[in-house]
Chain A
Amino acid sequence: MAETVIKTENLNFQYDSDNKTKQVLFDISLEIEKGSFVCILGRNGSGKSTLAKVFSLVNKPTSGTLELFGNQFDDKTTEDQEYEIRKKIGMVFQNPDNQMVATIVEEDVAFGPENLGLEPTEIRRRVDEALDIVGMKEFSKHSSSQLSGGQKQRVAIAGIIALSPEVIIFDESTAMLDPIGRREVMQTITKLAKMGKTIILITHHMDEAVNADRILILSNGRISADGTPKEIFSNDKLIEETGLELPQSKKILNMLSEKGIEIDTNGLDPHNAALNIAEALKKRRAQ
């Protein structure tokens, strides 16, 4: 079995502000394997982002255990240990504008490695490599205000890659982008997954979830489902209850099946759906 990078047991989290406390996460128990591509779905306010921030140590769990890379994280964890863990977990946020520190693309990407105190030549190497991976090398001297949303977000991703973390969390990183930007960012994420990085993707777009190895659904701060995209999207009732929707391709296959067509309904994107339909047509005609 593969190594576990993130493990929680009965983890709870609440926000304390002034005189109010608000519990956001309840009894979260999960394990995330190294190299897996996990997608977290759920309504606005279901606790997805809060959970992501627990993984990246921005939020400290109120109770329960949190284990990162085999190290238990609790009150006794020193600031230096925290820092070591932080190096291994990168996080890309929703608004690309609010995570870029420097104006010039390559200087922004260098920000992380500079914080690690690396040698200038090593920083240079990492920056070039990271920009190459996200396909933004030719923009290295551009200023951020000249970039499109998708390009900015790819620079933000490069800034994380340059820290060479093992886990990268995407907290609704495609939510503010147009379809082209979304496609660019998703291609980058898929590439990183193939390179063996552990990916945790939080999104509202079902078509992005389709590529994951595993989907977790959060509702009202609890894990309400955990399975492969095929398993999750064949549970219509669950999708309905958790306020999500099926990818249109899957919906069409389901509708065909309901009409009595003998068809494999496991096609989550247009290409696979079309293949399944063609297959079913061939079968029907052979009869």
Chain B
Amino acid sequence: MLKDITLGQYFPIDSPIHKIDPRMKLITAIVYIVSVFFARSAVAYGFMLLTAILLVIVSRIPIKTILKSLKPLIFIVVITGIINIFWYQPKDSSTLLVSFWIINIYLEGIISAVYMLTRIACIIIGTSVILTYTTSPIALTDGLEQMLAPLGKLHLPVHEFSMMMTIAMRFIPTIVEETDKIMAAQKARGSDFSTGNIIRRIKAIIPILIPLFVSSFRRADELAIAMECRCYRGGEGRTKMTKLKFKYYDFLWLVLVASLIAVMIVINTYLPFYIV
């Protein structure tokens, strides 16, 4: 069912990570990704994996949910792993483990594949825990709008952009639900979306798309009138009920995440095991 796709997969619970300012989350998500790329030695990778696990624990997102979100990526992960193993360019110091026909597998190849996988896992877990699972889409757009606000002075349509995002976010569930309904209604008239060749299947979509477009235009029309009646005149002179304010723990959080980069450098230098 289409309804099962949850946008952003926001998990509305209470945790220290949920409390962080969305702007800071955006920044720290980027910092976290950067720090993952700093890792070079086995200890550094191990440490990053540990931080990812810590993040999950602190955020109180069920482990099951995280694993589920990784599931669709298994295919990509396997392919990357294989490519890394087989396409490893050996150096003089490389240790050959297996060799038959044109295939040579080196220990370093396997290690670099493991590193690659760890990196992907860390990035996915880290960003989803810092951002998508713990930040409501609305908080995210709010954060984006206020971060981009200075650009408004350059006459960039920041307000329009964020209003668009807000409305899109608000209407996605409504339109998904409507698509479900229209599909069911056309199926009740014998529409068949699952058999036949490509052309037949595309043709079967038309009875869904047209009513969906028509109703979306109608909704847009009604919404525009409703907004006008609620005194909307664009961004000028508009105020906001809640203005985001950084708190001390937002900065604490930034320092914490940013220090990961330093930790990586230190580990790479003093514990340089298995750098490939």
Contact = CB atoms under 8 A, between A and B. Distances in A.
Q: Consider the complex of A and B and state whether they touch directly, i.e. have CB atoms less than 8 Å apart.
A: yes
A118 interface: yes
Chain B's interface: helix, strand, loop or mixed, by majority?
helix
Nearest to B175: A97
B187 interface: no
B229 interface: yes
A53 B137 CA distance: 34
B173 A115 contact: no
A111 B230 contact: yes
A163 B241 contact: no
Contacts of B227: 101, 111
A106 B137 CA distance: 15
Nearest to A91: B229
Interface string A90-114: 1101010111111110110011111
Contacts of B222: 93, 95, 98-99
A176 interface: no
A145 B173 contact: yes
A101 B219 contact: no
Contacts of A123: 239-241
Interface in B62-100: none
Chain A's interface: helix, strand, loop or mixed, by majority?
helix
Contacts of B137: 103
B166 interface: yes
Contacts of B249: none
Given A113-B241, A115-B238, A98 B230 contact: no
B230 A112 contact: yes
A160 B219 CA distance: 19
A99 B221 CA distance: 10
Interface string A5-31: 000000000000000000000000000
A179 interface: no
A214 B243 CA distance: 45
A111 B232 contact: yes
B230 A159 contact: yes
A274 interface: no
A260 interface: no
Contacts of A53: 225
Given A98-B219, A98-B226, A127 B241 contact: yes
Given A103-B137, A163-B230, A114 B225 contact: no
A87 interface: yes
Contacts of B230: 90, 101, 111-112, 115, 159-160, 163
Interface in B124-167: 136-138, 166-167
Interface in A220-268: none
A74 B215 CA distance: 33
A138 interface: no
A102 B227 CA distance: 11
Interface string B170-182: 1001100000000
B229 to A, nearest CB: 5
A89 B229 CA distance: 8
A103 B170 contact: yes
Interface string A138-160: 00000011000000000000011
Nearest to B10: A143
Given A58-B225, A97-B174, A123-B239, A86 B231 contact: yes
B239 A98 contact: no
Interface in B223-276: 223, 225-233, 237-243
A124 interface: yes
B170 A101 contact: yes
Contacts of A91: 226, 229
B221 to A, nearest CB: 9
A112 B228 CA distance: 10
Interface of B: 136-138, 166-167, 169-170, 173-174, 218-219, 222-223, 225-233, 237-243
10 contacts: A56-B229, A89-B229, A91-B229, A97-B174, A98-B218, A101-B227, A112-B231, A120-B241, A145-B174, A163-B231
Q: What are the 5 tightest A-B residue pairs by CB atom distance, in nearest-first order?
A: A99-B226, A98-B222, A110-B241, A112-B230, A123-B241
